[in-house]
Structure 1
Amino acid sequence: MASASPHTRPLSPHLTAWKWGANMLVSILHRVTGDGMALVGTVLIVWWLAALSGGSASYAAFMNVFTLHTGALNVIGYIVGIGLTLCFFQHLASGIRHFILDVGAGYELKANRRYSILTIVFSILATAAFWAYLIWGK
């Protein structure tokens, strides 16, 4: 029985062997945004419930971070809010893209790339429109 030399066996494909494309980025972003929303959302809901049960002072401190006014702590609220909104719209658009792929459409290389880029563009524009409405639309 002859043993194969380690130098003659085929190598497993590695990430450096693949050309990165928009579809790979969107696939990874779909997982990251889903996990991020679950993690951050869980932390925020627990914080909100703890603030509710802690009395009016702790609830006021929570609301001070997550309401639309100026202040040092409010910057954190904006970052978290905008980040969650961007994650939501990216995950939504990517989910719709996956639904289109599930029905059998969009597997052509150009269409797949176009849909992938559109999910990123949509998420950025929808986030900007949403926050523009929150800040200036009232």
Structure 2
Amino acid sequence: MSQIDVKAARPLSPHLQIYKRILTMVMSILHRITGAGLYFGMALVAWWLVAVASGPHYYDFVTGLFGSILGYLVLFGFTWALMHHMLGGLRHFLWDTGRGMEPGVRDKIALANIVGSIVLTVVVWVIALAVA
């Protein structure tokens, strides 16, 4: 038997096309994506702080951008990522204590993470728009 035949007979590693997508897997991926989004979204916070320190003219420019429709969409997404990542961190903290690992409970907590992040985002924006 040649060397090529031996390599061809070995099993291949599983990949994403083989795995069945389950809610906790999707939540794990989404937790990483929101973490990366928060990392880059902090540049917005730093930009706003620089604008505050730079004076009223530049501050008005930056708040004008943040106050546009596109700015609101970006800030809304940043708020949702913050809430989703926070609740995902609490979910992982719960798992670190050894609780909530049962199959049915894992899915319920993951679903509560999705619903909770949406509800908290809407509540924060309703309060923010009511105060402004």
Report TM bin, short chain: 0.7 to 0.9
- How far apart, CA to CA, are the structure 1 residues paired with 2:123 and 2:52? 31
List per-residue Cα deviations over 1:9-54 (Å, max 9, x = no partner).
222111111110110111111111111111121x213422443454
> TM-score under structure 1 normalisation?
0.82
Number of paired residues? Answer: 131
Report sequence identity in percent: 35
Uncovered stretches (5+) of structure 1, i.e. residues with no partner? 68-73
Detail structure 1 runs of 4+ shifted over 3 Å in the superposition.
1-4, 52-55
Partner residue of 2:75 out of 78, 81, 85:
81
- Provide the residue aligned with 1:134 in structure 2: 128
* Residues in 2 aligned to 1:135 and 1:51: alpha-carbon distance in whole angstroms: 21
**Higher helix residue share:** 2
Q: TM-score, normalising length from structure 2?
A: 0.85
Determine the structure 2 residue equivalent to 1:106: 100
RMSD between aligned residues: 2.2
Gapped regions of structure 2 (runs ≥ 5): none
Q: Which amino acid aligns with 2:94?
A: I
